[in-house]
């Protein structure tokens, strides 16, 4: 399979990743996408991980939060991650480097992949799902949203024609990505930094799972016009949320401040957007299930593995750590990698 490479590719890949890591387990409560109160604490929205609630962290080790999962003689060291963070965010990578020493593998978050034919096939077969060839975004949306789109464009330093022919949900994803870029925020870090460190240390790197971009396109294509508008509103709410607390998420993550992460990690717009359709819910559940299965396979393989997992997948009830413990893994907090 081939990664999507085009001007559209990075945005769709980022959209897929955010949709997959912002996982709301069955029975959880998610804010309606039109609500401005996206700042609600992540744990309050869906219930916290029973494993994390039961772990006592003595002191605060340097750097981001990490956990150790063990089964017999095998172990997986897990680095909790967030997205996005500022390009210039500093963090202590000493514990990570010690964890990677002697590791047989680094497992990275789920990746979105293109099928046979790559970009050309996608544009020919699936682009119609997310484009509108006769409409004009800013003419077709409610006036209150039009004002917010124009203001976001101004902050992102982009023009109206960049979004005009996309359906509202994808236009919202583009706006969020462009806003982040203008704010000096990276949707790839810190995972890309961890991958670079691992490769420099000659540790093989492999994604926990690969899911087809076409599945995301089908989920987005299943949204009706009202749901498309809700998605756009959710993305604009997320832009407002992130703009009001620049850099706070990365600062909390860098020092392992989980309470600070909860305060500054909103219910992702992708979650409230794709959560409106069954295909989106199934895709997120598949990502968590396949990630958990890959980690369990690592725990049944002799030696040490390191993994990067978004904190949204761990801090929610029935998240990755809860599932690992239910499968027989022992979860502890490594004090020094």
Report the distance separating Cα 141 and Cα 175, nearest Å. 15
pLDDT of residue 313: 79
pLDDT of res. 145: 97
Structure tokens at 189: 């870090």
d(CA 318, CA 313) in angstroms, rounded, equals 9
Answer yes or no: are the C-beta atoms of 69 and 291 closer than 8 Å.
no
163: number of CA atoms within 13 Å, CB side? 27
Which residue blocks in 37-167 are alpha helix, DSSP H? 42-46, 50-54, 94-100, 118-125, 137-140, 143-156
Over its length of 337 residues, how does the chain's per-residue pLDDT go in tens digits? 334 334 555 455 555 555 555 443 333 333 334 444 443 334 344 456 767 666 655 556 789 999 999 999 999 999 999 989 999 999 999 999 999 999 999 999 988 776 555 555 655 666 677 788 777 999 999 999 999 999 999 999 999 999 999 999 889 989 999 999 999 999 899 999 999 999 999 999 999 988 877 777 777 777 899 999 999 999 999 999 999 999 999 999 999 998 899 888 876 677 778 777 767 777 778 888 999 999 999 999 999 999 999 988 787 778 889 999 999 999 998 766 5
| Interval 297-329: pLDDT, tens | 999 999 999 999 998 878 777 888 999 999 999
Q: Give the pLDDT of residue 262.
A: 87
What pTM, to 2 d.p., does this model score? Answer: 0.82
At residue 26, the pLDDT reads 34
pLDDT in tens, 105-164: 999 998 877 655 555 565 566 667 778 877 799 999 999 999 999 999 999 999 999 999
Q: What residues does each domain of the chain span?
A: 9-129+168-332
HSE-up of 22 (CA within 13 Å, CB side)? 26
**Do residues 272 and 169 lie in contact, with contact meaning Cβ atoms separated by under 8 Å?**
no
């Amino acid at each position: 399979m081939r990664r999507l490479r085009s001007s559209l590719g990075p945005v769709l890949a980022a959209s897929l990743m955010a949709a997959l890591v912002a996982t709301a387990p069955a029975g959880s409560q998610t804010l309606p996408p039109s609500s401005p109160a996206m700042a609600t604490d992540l744990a309050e929205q869906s219930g916290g991980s029973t494993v994390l609630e039961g772990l006592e962290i003595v002191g605060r080790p340097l750097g981001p939060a990490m956990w150790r999962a063990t089964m017999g003689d095998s172990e997986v060291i897990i680095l909790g991650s967030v997205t996005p963070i500022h390009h210039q965010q500093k963090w202590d990578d000493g514990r990570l480097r010690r964890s990677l020493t002697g590791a047989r593998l680094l497992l990275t978050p789920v990746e979105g992949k293109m099928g046979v034919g790559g970009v050309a096939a996608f544009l020919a077969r699936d682009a119609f799902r997310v484009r509108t060839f006769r409409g004009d975004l800013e003419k077709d949306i409610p006036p209150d949203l039009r004002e917010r789109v124009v203001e976001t464009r101004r902050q992102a330093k982009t023009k109206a024609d960049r979004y005009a022919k996309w359906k509202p949900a994808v236009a919202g994803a583009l706006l969020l990505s462009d806003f982040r870029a203008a704010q000096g925020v990276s949707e790839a870090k810190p995972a890309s930094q961890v991958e670079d460190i691992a490769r420099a240390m000659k540790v093989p790197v492999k994604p926990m799972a690969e899911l087809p971009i076409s599945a995301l396109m089908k989920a987005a294509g299943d949204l009706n016009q009202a749901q498309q508008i809700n998605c756009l509103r959710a993305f604009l709410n997320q832009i407002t949320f992130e703009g009001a607390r620049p850099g706070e998420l990365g600062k909390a993550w860098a020092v392992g401040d989980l309470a600070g992460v909860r305060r500054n990690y909103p219910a992702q717009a992708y979650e409230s957007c794709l959560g409106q359709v069954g295909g989106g819910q199934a895709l997120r559940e598949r990502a968590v299930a396949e990630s958990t299965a890959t980690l369990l396979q690592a725990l049944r393989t002799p030696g040490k593995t390191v993994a990067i997992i978004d904190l949204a997948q761990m801090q929610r009830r029935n998240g990755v750590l809860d599932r690992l413990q239910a499968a027989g893994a022992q979860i502890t907090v490594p004090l020094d990698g």
